[in-house]
Structure 1
Amino acid sequence: MDSLELVTLALKEARIWQSAQREKGKQQTPQKGRQAPPTCHRGMETQCFVDAAWNAGTSGGGFGCIFKDTTGRTLQQCSSNRSNVSSALVAEALAVKAGLKAARLLGLRKLAIRSDSKSLIKAINTNEKIVEAQGVLFDIYQLCTSFTSVSFDFISRDFNEDADALAKAALQNLSNSV
């Protein structure tokens, strides 16, 4: 079994486990008011909120990620930017890749990636083939092998405002440096 098959199998098993946890969560009474987004393994992993900002006119991308512990306390923030980003989806994928790389550098072993890009999270979780982002998706799958547990979850933009602000600032810095 080569490494790509191993990662694909691991992601498939993780999706099955996540699905079972979601079903289990639906049986609980929902809480009212604005709450933190649900986690699949609450208390076990660091959350990494990621977002991207993309400018179609300049093809520039800005990326932001925020690491939070299980209590919601911010552990670290990082941002970066890049020229020649072909689409908003590729920018979102690059933000996830940046978050995974930063988590690896931080020595994290259990990670929950949170993104407000529904199409990207769906593509990652279903191993969907997207030609424009295939190279970045491959890198994401390879980086997943660095962790004992990694999950990818869609969250509302309301829960991703801080990562969004970092991404927009990084894009602005790229625009100002040109």
Structure 2
Amino acid sequence: MKNPSHLIHQNHLPLDHQTSLGGRQLGKEEGAEKGSPGNSRSQHSFSCWIDGAWQESSKTGGMGWIIKNEEGAVLCRGSSNRTYVGSALIAEALAMRDALKQAKDLLLPSIHIYSDFQVLISTLCEGRDLNEIACILTDIRNLTTLFCPNFYSFVPRLENSQADSLARASLARLVI
């Protein structure tokens, strides 16, 4: 597979792009499963599907996440909402941080995080920083050290509909 960094600048990643915290791309020969994005998981990892919803006019955000076991059974669903959320990127990063806190509380040994927000996933996979979410990225990176292995993967929005529904419902509860 080609190095995905040239695709990130074009705002799309390969669907099977899976990278560990260390920024190392995994190929089929190293145990990364290739298949449909919704079914692609690293062996023996719990999966965490996250999404953030954002309303520009009110600067509010809704966050949703679903954590599943290795067989795909739902362990928990969660959502939260906040005021003073400056962008969709911030909402997505907050969703990831909240989900990782939940995974920590569940004492999960490993985690594979799925998001439909390419900028967030590529930032984490490449070990880059973004000023807009610098503090949240620090929290995310600190939390992911608790899980071995840990992975981030981009999935198309349609593959992330359950987390999206939770995030939108949470946002709707906040917006009057």
TM over 0.5: yes
Q: Quick check: 1:37–1:159 contact (8 Å CA) kept in 2?
A: no
1:123 aligns with 2:123: yes
Stretches of structure 2 lacking an aligned partner (at least 5 in a row): 1-19
- Aligned residue for 2:78, secondary structure, equals strand
- Count how many residue pairs are aligned between Structure 1 and Structure 2: 157
What's the CA shift string for 1:75-109, capped at 9, x where partnerless? 11000001111111111111110110010011111
Stretches of structure 1 lacking an aligned partner (at least 5 in a row): 1-9
Query: How big is the shift at 1:20?
Result: 3.0
Question: 1:56–1:148: structure 2 CA closer, same or farther, 3 Å change rule?
Answer: same
Distance 1:127 1:155 in 2: 19
Distance 2:147 2:27 in 1: 21
Q: Quick check: 1:46–1:67 contact (8 Å CA) kept in 2?
A: yes
Corresponding residue for residue 11 of structure 1 = 21
Question: Which has more radius of gyration?
Answer: 1
1:94 aligns with 2:94: yes
Corresponding residue for residue 4 of structure 2 = none
What's the CA shift string for 1:12-57, capped at 9, x where partnerless? 2xx32x423478769x7x6xxx673311x23x01100000100011
CA-based RMSD of the aligned residues comes to 2.1
Query: How big is the shift at 1:158?
Result: 1.5
Q: When the two structures are superposed, what TM-score results if normalisation uses the length of structure 2?
A: 0.81
Query: Between the two proteins, what is the percent identity of the paired residues?
Result: 34
Corresponding residue for residue 156 of structure 1 = 156
What's the CA shift string for 1:143-162, capped at 9, x where partnerless? 11222221111111111101
- Aligned residue for 1:81, secondary structure, equals strand
Question: 1:35–1:97: structure 2 CA closer, same or farther, 3 Å change rule?
Answer: closer
Query: How big is the shift at 1:141?
Result: 0.7
Question: 1:167–1:113: structure 2 CA closer, same or farther, 3 Å change rule?
Answer: same
Corresponding residue for residue 58 of structure 1 = 58
Question: 1:35–1:84: structure 2 CA closer, same or farther, 3 Å change rule?
Answer: closer
Distance 2:59 2:106 in 1: 30
Corresponding residue for residue 37 of structure 1 = 39
Distance 1:46 1:103 in 2: 9
Taking the TM superposition and a 5 Å limit, the aligned residue runs for 1:133-144 are: 133-144=133-144
Corresponding residue for residue 81 of structure 1 = 81
Corresponding residue for residue 20 of structure 1 = 27
Structure 1 or 2: more helix by fraction: 1
Which amino acid in the other structure matches residue 116 of structure 2? D
Query: How big is the shift at 1:74?
Result: 1.2
Which amino acid in the other structure matches residue 69 of structure 1? N
Which amino acid in the other structure matches residue 37 of structure 1? N
